[in-house]
Structure 1
Amino acid sequence: MIIGAAKVYVYASWVHSLKEKRMEVKSIIAKVKHRYNVSIAEIENQDFHQSIVLGIACVSNSTKQSNAIIQNVVNYIEGNTEGFIEKVDIEIL
């Protein structure tokens, strides 16, 4: 069993309140869950309105497949949000 995990740091400069941030995060999470079979949640910086940190995890039977799934999810997030992806930390266990 191979576990792929990632932390995606997104900077959302247009967000001016926690309510706007919550709406954006819920939208991203719903889109990703609908399209990919991964677990995703906001994991850090929940009180900072322009910083979004998402945790993503998947389970597969090969390292190559886990890495491909995580990369596809990151690319999807980058293409479907107005935010700027500052950093992505990927770990394959």
Structure 2
Amino acid sequence: MFVGICEATFRAEWVSSLKEKRMVVKSLVEKTRHKFNASVAEVDRQEEHKMLVVGFACVSNEKSHAERMLQHILDFMEKSTEAELISAEYEVY
């Protein structure tokens, strides 16, 4: 069994309040969960309204498949929000 985890940091300069940020994060998390059946959550910087840090995980029976899933999820997230992806770190165990 292989577990892939990723932490992606996005910058949303146009967001002006925490309420607006929560709407952006909720939409991104729900879209990603629905499409990929992955575990997804905001994991850091909850009080900074211009920064979004989202973590997600997947499980697979092959390491290469877990890596591909992480990359597909990251690509989807990048296309599904107007926020700019500024960093992403992932690992497969």
- Name the TM tier (shorter chain): over 0.9
Residue 37 of structure 2 aligns to a residue in which SS?
coil
Residue 46 of structure 2 aligns to a residue in which SS?
coil
How far is 1:59 from its partner?
A: 0.6
| Fraction of identical pairs, as percent | 38
Give the structure-1-normalised TM-score. Answer: 0.98
- Counterpart Cα distance in 1 of 2:90 and 2:37: 17
Structure 1 residue aligned with 2:78: 78
Which residue identity is paired with 2:29?
Answer: I
Deviations, residues 1-59 of structure 1 (Å, cap 9, x unaligned): 10000000000111010000000000001100110021000000000000000000011
How far is 1:90 from its partner?
A: 0.6
Structure 2 residue aligned with 1:14: 14
Structure 2 residue aligned with 1:39: 39
Structure 2 residue aligned with 1:92: 92
Which residue identity is paired with 1:44?
Answer: D
- Counterpart Cα distance in 2 of 1:5 and 1:30: 18
Q: How many residues align?
A: 93
Which residue identity is paired with 2:59?
Answer: V
- Unpaired stretches in structure 1, ≥5 consecutive residues: none
Which residue identity is paired with 2:75?
Answer: N
Detail structure 1 runs of 4+ shifted over 2 Å in the superposition. Answer: none
Deviations, residues 71-90 of structure 1 (Å, cap 9, x unaligned): 00000011111010000001
Give the structure-2-normalised TM-score. Answer: 0.98
- Unpaired stretches in structure 2, ≥5 consecutive residues: none
